[in-house]
């Protein structure tokens, strides 16, 4: 009985196949390594965001495949809520959050090697983080010393924030600084808020976003139901929405 032997040709073919498999595995491993290095170097996405419904702050971070935008790791968060926000929540100085899903607005963020990008929410965060010469939080100290005025200012700030109208925050802060009494502040805040809501509603109308315009006008009318221009603007948006 004889046994078959491997011919030199078969041996060479098997050796070539093993070399090709080994080379393929090596190339795959190198590509995976290069991809991982590129993802670490250019695929990092991180920053800070602010929730206007709850006045919470948090960091976020994750990785994505560079230039493709495919996320490769779950988002990680860490709470960064400051003492001013905590004081406002603990003392119920903020409006009750709506039942709709909460939103998060970018304060600052980076994607890969791109420059730092800042969002409008940073305008408010600067005030929340402001400190005096003694390293005290300015608006925490103010809110504790002026609880009645704080109960007027912060709900207005929250209302602006929920519509991403952070650009108007400084003027309301300025009102709080200079109003002589809480009653005067209430009158000034309401009047200014009506004007800003009307202004934004008109912009929504120009963009044919009538549901948003109606929402802003409803808020304005709730503050001042004696202005015929507000009601006329609302009728206009309701009619446009009904078409």
How many other CB atoms sit within 10 Å of the CB of residue 227? Answer: 14
How far apart, in Å, are the Cα atoms of 233 and each of 77, 118, 209, 214, 225? 42, 34, 13, 8, 13
Do 22 and 13 contact (CB within 8 A), yes or no? no
Q: Is residue 62 part of a domain?
A: yes
Could you give the percent of the chain with pLDDT greater than 70? 78
DSSP state of 107: E
Print the SS3 string covering 123-156.
HHHHHHHCECCCCCEHHHHHHHHCHHHHHHHHHH
Q: Per-residue pLDDT for 136 more than 80?
A: yes
Position 195 scores a pLDDT of 95
Give the pair of three-digit tokens for residue 128. 């929340």
The sign of the dihedral angle between the CA atoms of 80, 86, 92, 93 is negative
Work out the widest C-alpha separation in the chain, in whole angstroms: 114
Q: Is residue 7 part of a domain?
A: no
Q: Which residue(s) pair with 64 in the sheet?
A: 71
Position 16 scores a pLDDT of 67
Task: Return mean pLDDT, the chain.
Answer: 85
Q: Which residue(s) pair with 53 in the sheet?
A: none
> What is the domain count for the chain?
1
What global pTM score does this model have? 0.76
Q: Per-residue pLDDT for 46 more than 70?
A: yes
Count the residues in the chain: 243
How far is 86 from 78, CA to CA, in rounded Å? Answer: 16
Do 157 and 168 contact (CB within 8 A), yes or no? no
More reliable by pLDDT, 59 or 34: 59
Q: Is residue 211 part of a domain?
A: no
Structural domain boundaries, residue 42: 34-144
Q: Per-residue pLDDT for 2 more than 60?
A: no
Q: Per-residue pLDDT for 113 more than 80?
A: no
Q: Is residue 182 part of a domain?
A: no
Strand runs labelled E in 7-96: 44-51, 56-65, 70-71, 76-79
48-102 pLDDT per residue, tens: 999 999 999 999 988 776 666 666 777 899 999 999 999 999 999 998 877 778 8
Mean pLDDT, residues 135-160: 96
The sign of the dihedral angle between the CA atoms of 90, 95, 96, 102 is negative
Q: Is residue 123 part of a domain?
A: yes
5-25 pLDDT per residue, tens: 556 666 566 666 666 666 666
168-182 pLDDT per residue, tens: 999 999 999 999 999
Q: Is residue 129 part of a domain?
A: yes
């Amino acid at each position: 009985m004889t046994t078959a032997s491997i011919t030199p040709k078969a041996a060479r073919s098997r050796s070539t196949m093993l070399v090709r498999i080994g080379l393929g595995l090596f190339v795959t491993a190198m590509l995976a390594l290069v991809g991982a290095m590129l993802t670490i170097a250019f695929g990092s996405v991180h920053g800070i965001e602010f929730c206007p419904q709850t006045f919470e702050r948090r960091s976020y971070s994750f990785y994505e495949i560079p230039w493709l935008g495919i996320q490769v790791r779950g988002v990680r968060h860490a709470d960064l809520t400051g003492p001013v926000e905590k004081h406002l929540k603990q003392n119920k100085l903020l409006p009750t959050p709506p039942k709709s899903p909460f939103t998060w607005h970018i304060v600052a963020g980076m994607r890969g090697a791109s420059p730092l990008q800042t969002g409008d929410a940073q305008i408010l965060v600067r005030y929340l983080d402001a400190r005096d010469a003694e390293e005290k939080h300015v608006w925490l100290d103010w809110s504790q010393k002026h609880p009645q005025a704080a109960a007027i200012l912060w709900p207005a700030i929250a209302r602006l924030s929920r519509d991403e109208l952070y650009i108007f925050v400084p003027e309301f802060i300025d009102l709080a600084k200079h109003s002589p009494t809480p009653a005067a502040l209430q009158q000034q805040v309401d009047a200014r808020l009506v004007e800003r809501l009307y202004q934004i509603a008109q912009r929504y109308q120009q963009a044919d976003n009538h549901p948003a315009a109606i929402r802003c006008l409803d808020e304005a009318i709730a503050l001042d139901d004696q202005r015929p221009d507000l009601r006329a603007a609302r009728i206009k948006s309701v009619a446009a929405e009904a078409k």
